[in-house]
Amino acid sequence: MKKKFRRSLLKYMVLPIGAIMLVAVYICDVYSPIDENKTFIINRGDSVTGVARRLKNDGMILSDDIFKFAIRINGGRVRHGEYDISPNTGMWRMARMMAHGHIATTNVTIPEGFTIQQVKILLSNNNELTGDVECVTGNMSDVCQIHDGDIFPDTYRVARGTTRLAVLGLAQKKMSDIRARWEQNGRVAPRPLRGWDEIVTLASIVQRETPRATEMPIVASVYINRLRQNMRLQADPTVVYAITGGLGDMGGRALTREHLKTESPYNTYANAGLPPGPIANVGMAALRAVLRPAETNYLFFVADGTGGHHFSRNYDEHRAAHNAWREIKKSRARR
């Protein structure tokens, strides 16, 4: 009789406990009052209690006490940042996100061949970043002394709300790391280049001359050959850099013979040797092209109408190729 009573009592106790557990699971990780995408920001220094209260007041959770308990189970603190909360996100999942810092991120792509000015315009127009792209007066940090050739073009995944200067800093550090690895490996520059700065300077010209990675070692060989023979580089992108004040973009305007007479140390039609510094920021393909240029006896190249170039060993060949390119442009203009 006593055993039967205990079994009955146990059965009646298990049922409500099970029901309570089901309700708790439902409230914590199944039910969600969120029916649309929301953004929630945790500022540096915000307390768990303060975050829980805001979530409750914003109608994103049912119980601030249960949320605080869930945070305690997941480490006991929330991480600052901006969070994307999708519809039907339960309290438990939200607590895990905020305890482990699963913040909203954004991809920032710096294209190869962009100048520092173009990169700053790109970052300024990115609404998912914050802060000014220029340093305040008196700031002497490395990123405030940045020049063309100092950053590595790439796609950087950062927290939404990251400052624009921080993105520049990431790109600068990546380029610095590439230089450090090259120096640690005891690499030498191809003759007649002297050191990393001249490698990057020539790579920036190669980068702006062709978008085709397969062509870059050949373009690099042309300029190496010209330097070895004390010929002027006569690189159009250096003139563009000079006449645009370092912007590197003529806005669709054509380069004219008058432009080639521009007085500037960057004008490689008017001055022998390399320009004073890089005219753009370079990717790995352009760097490798200069470090390992193709072995050719080419001294000239001109566009071939297909997006690539025709390479020539002497001026007569180059003049014929140049005339062919002129005819292609005329035929296109008549269409």
Does 270 map to a domain?
yes
At which of 184, 204, 227 does a domain end?
184
Instruction: Please report whether residue 15 resides in a domain.
Output: no
**Residue 79 burial by Cβ neighbours in a 10 Å radius (0-12, 13-18, 19+):** middle
Where does the pLDDT of residue 25 fall: very low under 50, low under 70, confident under 90, or very high at 90 and above? very low
For the segment 197-209, the average pLDDT, to the nearest whole number, is 98
Co-location of 113 and 159 in the same domain? yes
* Band (333; pLDDT cuts 50, 70, 90): confident
Give pTM, 2 decimals: 0.85
Give the residue among 285, 279, 288 at the shortest CA–CA distance from 150: 279
Domain count, the chain: 4
Range of the domain at 37: 27-100
Please tell me the predicted confidence (pLDDT) of residue 305. 86
CA distance 153 to 171: 7
Are 38 and 84 in a shared domain?
yes
* Residue 13 domain flag: no
Report which of residues 30 and 178 the model is more confident about.
178
For residue 32, what pLDDT is reported? 76
CA-to-CA distance for 42 and 81, rounded, in angstroms? 5
d(CA 30, CA 16): 20
Q: What is the pLDDT of residue 18?
A: 42
- Position 328 in a domain: yes
Residues 92 and 112 in one domain: no
Query: Are 206 and 290 contained in the same domain?
Result: yes
CATH number at residue 325: 3.30.160
Q: What is the pLDDT of residue 9?
A: 47
Q: Which of 54, 79, 100 is the last residue of a domain?
A: 100
Both 83 and 137 in one domain: the answer is no
Q: Do both 142 and 160 map to the same domain?
A: yes
Does residue 27 surpass a pLDDT of 90? no
| 147-169 per-position pLDDT tens digit | 999 999 999 999 999 999 999 99
Render pLDDT for 223-270 as a digit per residue (tens, 0 to 9): 999 999 999 999 999 999 999 999 999 998 999 999 999 999 999 999
Q: Do residues 255 and 213 touch, judged by C-beta distance below 8 A? A: no
Average pLDDT, the chain: 89
So what's the pLDDT on residue 26? 46
pLDDT tens-digit profile of 270-291? 999 999 999 999 999 999 999 9
Task: pLDDT band for 4, please (50, 70, 90 cuts).
Answer: low
* Domain match, 212 and 159 both: no
Burial track 284-297 (b if 16+ CB lie within 10 A, e otherwise):
ebbbebbbebbeee
Rounded mean pLDDT of 64-69? 92
Do residues 89 and 172 share a domain? no
